[in-house]
């Protein structure tokens, strides 16, 4: 029997990239997944790709109303949550010289507030313990120009996870962060005005990475599966970098 047989998972940002790859892996391992995202068309495509044991709920993690609607659906259909994969994120470049309030607020709303309340609102349904995996980033320990607010947000969720690991241990809930390096997902293209700029950046990251390439979503999903499953039953409070060595050597 699979490690995730009979488990119920909630995955935010589950319609593409790491979130979608993780949803597929969890279903392959026996879980039922609820995936969220802001665009219904992308959710519909993801549902078709996953193929079974999936419910999609359109919503924005920065909206507490949307999160309440998500968990009301989970409660009505399954009544319990075993795994939370808080993956939804937002990145936009801005140096301190031209950083705007709107940029700051959107970055923090999605990357910090969204994580906090995704986790908090899951807890009443985590009645049989479980695992919470928060997607941070290796940027939580790096200084990369134009990524200040994003780095602060990702370092912030890393700090929160340390605290939650202590606060939730008596409920049988483990909490960890997963920190990707440069990974081949649509979020990279979304940061640039042209395909050429995006490709140049990817080549640059690949050249800086000891393994000489970008990560694949399935590789991050494998790490997410480890942290979500009983394979990591003695692991809590950690930050697991999956980055080809980019921030490690």
Break the chain into its structural domains and give their ranges.
8-184+216-242
Q: Residues 106-126: what's their mean pLDDT?
A: 98
Helices (H) and strands (E) in the chain, counts: 9, 7
Of 71, 104, 150, 234, catalytic: 150
DSSP, residue by residue, 171-198: GTEEEEEEEE-SB-SHHHHTTSSSHHHH
pLDDT attached to residue 77: 98
- Give the pLDDT confidence of 71-99 residue by residue, as tens digits: 999 999 999 999 999 999 999 999 999 99
Tens-digit pLDDT profile for residues 154-209: 999 999 999 999 999 999 999 999 999 999 987 666 666 677 777 888 898 899 99
Catalytic residue list contains 104:
no
Q: Which helix (H) or strand (E) holds 10?
A: strand 8-11
Q: At what angle do helices 17-28 and 217-228 cross, to 10 degrees?
A: 50
* Residue 22's pLDDT band (cuts 50, 70, 90): very high
**d(C-alpha 43, C-alpha 14), whole Å:** 8
* Residue 179 phi, psi dihedral angles, 5° rounding: -115, 100
* Relative orientation angle of helices 148-167 and 101-108, to the nearest 10 degrees: 30
CA of residue 78 relative to chain centroid, distance: 22
- Topology of the domain comprising 8-184+216-242: Rossmann fold (3.40.50)
């Amino acid at each position: 029997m699979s490690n995730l047989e009979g488990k119920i998972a909630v995955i935010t940002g589950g319609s593409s990239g790491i979130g979608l790859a993780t949803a597929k892996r969890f279903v392959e391992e026996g879980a039922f997944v609820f995936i969220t995202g802001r665009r219904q068309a992308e959710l519909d495509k993801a549902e078709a790709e996953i193929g079974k044991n999936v419910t999609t709920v359109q919503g924005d993690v920065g909206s507490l109303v949307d999160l309440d609607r998500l968990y009301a659906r989970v409660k009505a259909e399954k009544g319990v949550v075993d795994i939370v994969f808080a993956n939804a994120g937002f990145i936009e470049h801005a140096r301190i010289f031209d950083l705007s309030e709107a940029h700051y607020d959107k970055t923090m709303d999605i990357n910090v507030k969204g994580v906090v309340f995704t986790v908090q609102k899951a807890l009443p349904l985590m009645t049989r313990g479980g695992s919470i995996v928060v997607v941070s980033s290796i940027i939580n320990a790096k200084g990369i120009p134009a990524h200040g607010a994003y780095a602060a947000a990702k370092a912030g969720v890393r700090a929160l996870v340390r605290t939650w690991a202590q606060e939730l241990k008596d409920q049988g809930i483990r909490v960890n962060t997963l920190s990707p390096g440069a990974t081949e997902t649509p979020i990279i293209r979304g940061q640039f005005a042209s395909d050429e700029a995006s490709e140049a950046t990817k080549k640059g990251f690949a050249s800086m990475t000891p393994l000489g390439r970008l990560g694949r979503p399935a590789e991050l999903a494998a790490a997410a599966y480890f942290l979500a499953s009983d394979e990591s039953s003695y692991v809590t409070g950690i930050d697991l970098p999956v980055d080809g060595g980019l921030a490690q050597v």
